[in-house]
Amino acid sequence: MRDTQTKRPSQLAFAASALGLTFGAPAFADDAAERLTERLDPLERYQADFEQQILDGSGERMQSARGQMWLSRPGMLRWEVEAPYSQTVVSDGEDVYMYDPDLEQVTVQEMDDRVTHTPALLLSGSVDDLAESYEVFYEQDEGDDVFTLVPISADTLFEELSMVFEGEELSELWMMDSTGQRTSITFSNITLNGDIAPDMFDFEIPEGTDVIREEL
């Protein structure tokens, strides 16, 4: 197994970009953050299928993928892309592993503030940190509740993240990065607070796989 050191920034597969929405004045941010906390607080475990689309700044589709995800608070995540290519991202609460079987390569990065600001890991983290790290805006769209998070710090992998709730279920994520690239993630077959085996969040590096350890 080859173990390589690198200082390049993290490129976690699910940390992409999304739709920018315009919301009300920041004066409502405290109320919006409280509403979002009320939605996310009961969400201890979450399992779903997902479909992901990446769009360029003009709205043209660049890439699509589908797979499954599992999360458990605090800090546990498994994100498996099944098609059109295979890729697995696992967080065990201490390290994040991104495994590409076609390249026979796994990238390992310690959990820190920047990593946990990626969208899926943000969902698995502490709800109490949201108001400290983001301006939160809220609106209703055709009966759905839409929350948009704008990072206060510039050191994040997205410029805006929108969460869409149908009733109590998180049904969509929309993200936008600094280049205008957008990502839409739609969830289906959702299970809230169901049983998830603890070893779902373990990752054993396959024999013969190249290991890249990233440092921020």
Give the DSSP letter string of 93-157: SSEEEEEETTTTEEEEEE--HHHHTSHHHHHHS-GGGHHHHEEEEEEEETTEEEEEEEESSS-SS
Q: What is the CATH number of the domain that holds 115?
A: 2.50.20.10
**143 domain residue, yes or no:** yes
Per the structure, the count of domains in the chain is 1
Closest CA to 14 of 102, 93, 79: 79
**Does the structure show a pLDDT above 60 at 1?**
no
> Which is it for strands 105-110 and 210-214: parallel, antiparallel or unpaired?
parallel
Higher pLDDT, 18 or 81: 81
Contact indicator for 51, 67 with CB cutoff of 8 Å = no
**29 domain residue, yes or no:** no
Q: What are the structure tokens assigned to 151, written together?
A: 């990072």
Please report the pLDDT score of residue 199 as a whole number.
Answer: 94
**75 domain residue, yes or no:** yes
User: Which residues lie below 8 Å from residue 213, measured CB to CB, with a gap of 6+?
Assistant: 3, 4, 5, 6, 107, 108, 109
**85 domain residue, yes or no:** yes
Going from the C-alpha of 34 to that of each of 130, 133, 176, the distances in angstroms are: 10, 14, 23
Going from the C-alpha of 204 to that of each of 58, 85, 99, 197, 209, the distances in angstroms are: 40, 20, 10, 16, 11
Closest CA to 187 of 35, 14, 13, 67: 67
pLDDT for 54-66, tens place per residue? Answer: 888 777 788 889 9
**33 domain residue, yes or no:** no
pLDDT for 84-108, tens place per residue? Answer: 889 999 999 888 899 999 999 999 9
**22 domain residue, yes or no:** no
Model confidence, pTM: 0.77
Please report the pLDDT score of residue 47 as a whole number.
Answer: 95
Q: Three-state DSSP class for 37? A: helix
Please report the pLDDT score of residue 9 as a whole number.
Answer: 30
φ, ψ for residue 119, nearest 5 deg = -55, -50
**66 domain residue, yes or no:** yes
**145 domain residue, yes or no:** yes
Domain limits for position 59: 45-198
Q: How far apart are CA 175 and CA 173, in angstroms?
A: 7
